[in-house]
Amino acid sequence: MRPRRRSGRDAYRSRTRRLLEWHLAAMLVAALVSMSALLVSYREVQISAGEMRTRGAPAVQGVAATQLALLRAHKEAEASVRSGIADVVGAGARYENQLAAADQGLSRLSDVQIDGDRGRGVLETVNGVLTSYSSSITPGAVKYVSDEPMQTEKFTEAETLLTRAGTGVVPRLDVLQGHQMARIDTLSSLNPLQWSGWAAAELGLLVLVLITLSALWVLRTRCGHSLDLCLLVSLLAVVFLATGPLIATSTTQDRLATARDGLVRIERQAHDHRDLAGSQQAVTDTATRVRAGLAAQGWQSGIYYGALAAGALIVLLPALGIGRHLNADYWRTG
């Protein structure tokens, strides 16, 4: 009878040991999978916010400001002729300032535009056309003040270079802006792959919670141990991982959506030509609010590093807690 009792007890111990080992292996797999999905998903959202802040918003504002500066320069040149001050020394300053602003805007756009090689090609073409435009508008406003036919020809030529559908500077910038706004929509929303990453992360953390609770139950009912501190701390780390990064991501997505709405307003303001000076000021004011809304938040970086630390805990603590019981109760005793 004793051998049978010893055999039964050994079989029970063996089953318990295997059960704990399976729990430990499952917890490690769930922790690694969920942490990988969570960190990648969280980082992608923060990268999108950074690109929106450093390139997307400045690029959209730059195109709008350049268009308005060019249109205002043309209007100022025509106004100087109509008001009869074109023959005054320095009269060209009324539109040359706007041309200079447009030129500076194009220079900055080459660094921040978000349409890749296609956008660079558009800007190269625009720069070439703008050179021709300056060669027409400046003589028309300054040189040919006493030659009305030539002056009219130069103004017509300049206006064609500026606004002609398809090939003018402003329509070409409209095309670039459309491509940039499509990119803004992508940056400000979660795509199906990102949604899948978050779903995998949250599901993996839920599975990890269930396995941890099961391991605590096994330790208490089959091994006679009280609640294990390592597993309890691991549960707290899992709760933080399931809520902290998700809340931070939701906040970031709200900020990105608000910024996208602001950039849409900037695009519309660039097409309001009734009061060009007022439109320029409106673009500047809206861009200031967009930049303020996109300002980097230090606590979100803290969430990322906190998630890294919590991820290390949910890998190490179960290994320490269950491994200690396995070593003391089963492995060391053979």
Distance, CA of 144 to CA of 150 (rounded, Å): 6
pLDDT at 90: 47
pLDDT, one tens digit per residue, over 166-204 is: 889 999 999 999 999 999 999 999 989 999 999 999 999
- Helices 148-163 & 116-138, crossing angle to 10 degrees? 170
Distance, CA of 151 to CA of 148 (rounded, Å): 5
Q: Where are the chain's structural domains?
A: 2-331
Q: How are the residues of the chain apportioned to helix, strand and coil, as percentages rounded to the nearest 5?
A: 85, 0, 15
Per-chain mean pLDDT for the chain: 86
pLDDT, one tens digit per residue, over 32-70 is: 999 999 999 999 999 999 999 999 999 999 999 999 999
Q: What is the CA radius of gyration of the chain?
A: 33
Confidence of residue 91 (pLDDT cuts 50, 70, 90): very low
Distance, CA of 222 to CA of 88 (rounded, Å): 100
Given a cut of 50, whether residue 88 has pLDDT beyond it is no
Question: By the 8 A CB rule, do 315 and 31 touch?
Answer: yes
What is the mean pLDDT of the segment spanning 286-297? Answer: 90
Distance, CA of 299 to CA of 30 (rounded, Å): 27
**Can you say whether the dihedral through the CA atoms of 147, 150, 154, 155 is positive or negative?**
positive
Given a cut of 80, whether residue 94 has pLDDT beyond it is no
Torsion of CA 85, 91, 92, 98, to 10 degrees: -100
Q: How many CB atoms lie within 10 A of CB 241?
A: 27
pLDDT at 331: 64
Which residue in this structure is represented by tokens 């130069």?
Answer: 154
What is the mean pLDDT of the segment spanning 103-111? Answer: 89
Given a cut of 70, whether residue 145 has pLDDT beyond it is no
Nearest to 164 by CA among 100, 76, 74: 74
Nearest to 237 by CA among 262, 257, 208, 268: 208
pLDDT at 87: 47
How far does Cα 281 stand from its chain's mean position?
A: 26
Question: By the 8 A CB rule, do 64 and 266 touch?
Answer: yes
